[in-house]
Amino acid sequence: MPLVLLGLVFQLVAVVCWVLIFAHAFQRSLGTGVMVLLLPIYNVVYAFTQFEHRRKGLILAGAIGGLVLAVVLRTVGTALIPPA
């Protein structure tokens, strides 16, 4: 159970970081924002190539690393819960 909760915390961090990236894309143009929102591969490409922020490294680490850690921790935590 603690791993699942820790995974949820990392997932929340990832969502906040992706919201920052989406907001930047929509400020750039509506078309770019829609593409980033709807195309999963393009949002990663946009984040690395066109996203500009003073803390770009931390935001990208939180977005991608937080998502990966959230999936791993929630999967392992769920597998360790004993069946009822």
**27-55 tens-digit pLDDT:** 999 999 999 999 989 999 999 999 999 99
DSSP code, position 83 = P
Residues across the chain: 84
Number of Cβ within a 10 Å radius of residue 50 = 13
Question: What burial letters (b/e) apply to 1-27, b meaning 16+ CB within 10 Å?
Answer: eebbeebeebbebbeebbebbbebbee
Domain count, the chain: 1
This prediction has a pTM of 0.88
DSSP labels, 29-59: -HHHHHHHHH-HHHHHHHHHHT---TTHHHH
Q: What is the span of the domain harbouring residue 47?
A: 2-80
Could you tell me what percent of the chain has a pLDDT over 90?
88
Q: Mean pLDDT throughout 1-5?
A: 90
Query: What is the model's pLDDT at position 84?
Result: 75
